[in-house]
Amino acid sequence: MLNFDFYAPARILFGKGTQSQIGSLLKPHAKKVLLHYGGGSIKKSGLYDEVTASLLESEIPFVELGGVAPNPRLSLVREGIALCRKENVDLILAVGGGSAIDSSKAIAMGVFQEGDVWDVYEQSTAIEKALPVAVILTIPAAGSESSGDTVLTNEEKKLKYGYGSPRLRPLLSIMNPELFFTLPKNQIANGIADMMSHVFERYFTNTTHTDLTDNLCEAVLKTIMKNAPLVIADPKNYDAWSEIGFSGTVAHNGLVGMGREQDWACHGMEHELSAIYDVAHGAGLAVLTPAWMSYVYKDNLSMFVQFAVNVMGVSGSYRDPEAIVLEGIARLREFFNKLGLPAALKDLGIDEENLELMAKKSTGAAFDDESPIGSLKRLYWQDVLEIYKLVR
């Protein structure tokens, strides 16, 4: 086990009706709130009315900024920063999924940046300050409700970068599984692939003596894999949604990756797809993850045997470990397939035109500044291109 620093202070309020507490929960922390959200779905569902009624009841003034798109954009963030400064906002309330939360985090730190907030993403400089962010979660997937991470797309430069700081951990997040009932099935499936990837990126490691976090990773993965088909079959299944929602948080609050070298190559490779083709992050991960596994498993065969046996339930003769691994990967592909997730880049509308460009961007080779991605196996742009080609 490696040395680690674990800090996950986001308070999670879970359960039926919890969104109606938002006003009283924020009252001690906020004089003026920015309500930040996506499209019209929260208005249609009545959530918008509930939230604003709760803020009014607690006499918390607010301004609002809707229009967050999947793969949230720098332009809207800049607008939010200007609005917060003008209106003296001191807390941002994200109502939505990862996109609304990540956009809120960008605004929260941007308010205190003298230069452009994009510089923080581009230069990965440590921030000193950020407004507090609170969350009412409507899409379990990104884990952003408890993490200190944000991912933003610069639509002019066609770049999608991530940034993390403990100062960006939400103050509190409300998770009521009932709010997930109206999600379309493809979005449910994308979210499931995303949260599974958050565990995979931490699970696959060359670090040894990691019993606890191995077991915790497997616990989260098995929970997701048991309940995912249930929410796809019946999006009003509260009990199954409870497991999926809570798992999405535990997958990404940091705990299950402590003391291990983490990988994150799949996220790196996927961000290039989203940056150019604006594909759903989870759908991109569902395509790339099994391909990545096929490409790297020989570098740590026993790690992949453990995955196949403990997570995918493969049994048989351990005298042929490679067969065990390949069966495990095949089962993961089949699992994604049954959820309705895509299996190839062409299913995402991605042809071969930009494969080399995306591979070179993923490692920085496109900017003459290459550093390999991943840690279980270090991947150069040629490796990434091979992985893209495996699932073109």
149-154 vs 159-164, strand pairing mode: antiparallel
CA proximity to 197, closest of 217, 175, 177, 174? 217
Please state, in angstroms and rounded to a whole number, the distance separating the CA atoms of residues 103 and 69.
Answer: 9
Q: Which is nearer to a copy of itself, 209 or 298 (CB)?
A: 209
φ, ψ for residue 29, nearest 5 deg: -110, -15
Residues touching a copy of itself, count (CB under 8 A): 38
CB closer to a copy of itself out of 141 and 387: 141
Which of 10, 159 has the CB closer to a copy of itself? 10
As a whole number of angstroms, the distance between CA 340 and CA 359 comes to: 26
Cα-only R_g, the chain: 20
Give, as one character, the DSSP assignment of residue 154.
E
By the rule CB under 8 A, 84 interacts with a copy of itself? no
Quick one: which of 196, 216, 283, 365 contacts a copy of itself (CB under 8 A)? 216
Question: What are the DSSP calls for 72-110, one per residue?
Answer: -BHHHHHHHHHHHHHHT--EEEEEESHHHHHHHHHHHHH
Kindly tell me which residue out of 219, 276, 357, 390 binds a copy of itself, with binding defined by CB under 8 A.
219
Min. distance of Cβ 267 from a copy of itself in angstroms? Answer: 23
Only segment of 39-47, 94-102, 204-212, 344-352 that touches a copy of itself (CB under 8 A): 204-212
Residue 1 or residue 56: which is nearer to a copy of itself going by CB? 1
Q: Cβ distance 290 to 329 under 8 Å?
A: yes
- Shortest Å, Cβ 8 to a copy of itself: 7
Are 327 and 314 a contacting pair, CB within 8 Å? yes
Which SS3 state, helix, strand or coil, does residue 353 take? coil
Instruction: Tell me how far apart the alpha carbons of residues 104 and 34 are, in angstroms, rounded to a whole number.
Output: 9
* Cα–Cα distance measured from residue 265 to residue 269, given in angstroms and rounded to the nearest whole number: 6
Footprint on residues 4-43 left by a copy of itself (CB under 8 A): 4-9, 11-16, 18
Binding mask 142-161 for a copy of itself (x = CB under 8 A): --------------------
Residue 212 or 233 with smaller CB distance to a copy of itself: 212
CA dist list (Å): 71 to 133, 296, 309? 19, 28, 35
Q: Which of 215, 302, 337, 382 binds a copy of itself (CB under 8 A)?
A: 215
In the DSSP assignment, the letter for residue 162 is E
Min CB(4)–a copy of itself separation in Å: 5
Contacts to a copy of itself from residues 222-281, by CB under 8 A = 222-223, 226-227, 239, 242-243, 246-247, 250, 255, 258-259
Longest dimension (CA), the chain: 68
Q: Which residues pair with 137 in a beta bridge?
A: 96, 175
Q: Using an 8 Å Cβ cutoff, are 167 and 202 in contact?
A: no
Comparing CB distances to a copy of itself, the nearer of 239 and 351 is: 239
Please identify, using beta-carbon distances, which residue of 26 and 387 lies nearer to a copy of itself.
Answer: 26
Q: Is 123 in the site for a copy of itself (CB under 8 A)?
A: no
Closest CA to 183 of 38, 41, 67: 41
Q: 59, 114, 211, 369: which one contacts a copy of itself (CB under 8 A)? A: 211
Instruction: Give residues in contact with a copy of itself (CB under 8 A).
Output: 1-9, 11-16, 18, 208-209, 211-212, 215-216, 218-220, 222-223, 226-227, 239, 242-243, 246-247, 250, 255, 258-259
